[in-house]
């Protein structure tokens, strides 16, 4: 199985409202060695992406409720590093262009041959794997954001959730700049969430436990009174 040679336990998400087709695709991809999550609509995409390390999304356009283009744009906003393969019965050139312009890495027209799907998935994942991994360093802590691994002195210490990883990346690119709770929620939780103001505190406390030497006395992610939180790259 040449496709499986580069699988390396990648986790995929299939979003397809046709249950029979969805289950068939799941079994085909699992047979190639992939780990596969499935959804029959897009409403649970945010929660599933937060809780799992998803390496690629296979997304149908015609979904109940908000359509695939909506969720494609959502994924591009909050998970721009995750490639999306669109599959759709819409085969007109302008419809394909719409999907590609919205951020899809590939567009597969239904009906398609199983082998074609496997080859396209393998190609996209191989391209992604060839990219340089984004590695952040905070003090003695090294974070591989592509795998969400937290390591110290070469030893893996913890694994970040999707939300924790987004929080850390947001802090990192704004190092030394205080970020308010409202800004953190807007940038990480997305437009579908309206949590109480202190919800973000819980996630930051969990993040501190994974990267701080003494979480109760944080050196890096510090509270800035009256402003929110700020990341300091050196203690």
Tell me the pLDDT tens digit for each residue of 143-190: 988 888 999 888 888 999 888 988 998 898 888 888 888 888 877 765
In this prediction, residue 42 has a pLDDT band, given cuts at 50, 70 and 90, of: very high
* Domains in the chain: boundaries: 11-125, 135-231
pLDDT of 86 above 90: yes
Domain 135-231 architecture: Orthogonal Bundle (1.10)
Q: What gap in Å lies between CA 84 and CA 101, rounded to an integer?
A: 12
Cα distance from N-terminal residue to C-terminal residue, the chain: 50
pTM over 0.75: no
> Can you tell me which residue has the tokens 């704004």?
174
Beta 11-15 vs 141-144: how paired, if at all? Answer: unpaired
Confidence at residue 4, expressed as pLDDT on a 0 to 100 scale:
45
What are the DSSP calls for 58-91, one per residue?
Answer: EEESS-SSS-HHHHHHHHHHH-TTS-EEEEES--
Confidence at residue 205, expressed as pLDDT on a 0 to 100 scale:
95
How far is residue 206 from each of residues 57, 158, 191, 203, 221, measured CA to CA in Å?
27, 11, 22, 5, 11
Assigned CATH class of 11-125: alpha beta
């Amino acid at each position: 199985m040449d496709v499986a040679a580069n699988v390396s336990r990648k986790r995929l998400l299939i979003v397809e409202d046709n249950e029979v087709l969805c289950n068939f695709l799941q079994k085909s991809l699992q047979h190639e060695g992939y780990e596969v999550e499935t959804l029959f609509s897009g409403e649970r995409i945010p929660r599933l992406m937060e809780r799992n390390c998803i390496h690629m999304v296979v997304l149908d356009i015609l979904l109940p409720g908000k359509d695939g283009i909506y969720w494609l744009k959502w994924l591009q906003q909050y998970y721009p590093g995750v490639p999306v393969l669109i599959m759709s019965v819409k085969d007109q050139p302008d419809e394909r262009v719409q999907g590609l312009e919205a951020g899809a890495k590939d567009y597969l027209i239904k009906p398609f041959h199983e082998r074609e799907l496997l080859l396209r998935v393998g190609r996209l994942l191989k391209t992604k794997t060839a990219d340089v991994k984004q590695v952040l360093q905070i003090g003695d802590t090294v974070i591989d954001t592509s795998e969400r691994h937290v390591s110290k002195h070469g030893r893996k210490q913890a694994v970040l959730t999707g939300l924790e990883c987004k929080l850390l990346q947001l802090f990192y690119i704004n190092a030394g700049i205080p970020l308010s709770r409202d800004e953190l929620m807007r940038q990480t939780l997305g437009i579908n969430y309206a949590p109480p103001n202190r919800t973000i505190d819980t996630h930051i406390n969990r993040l501190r436990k994974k990267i701080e030497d003494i979480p109760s006395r944080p050196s890096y992610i510090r509270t800035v009174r009256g402003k929110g939180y700020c990341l300091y790259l050196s203690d």
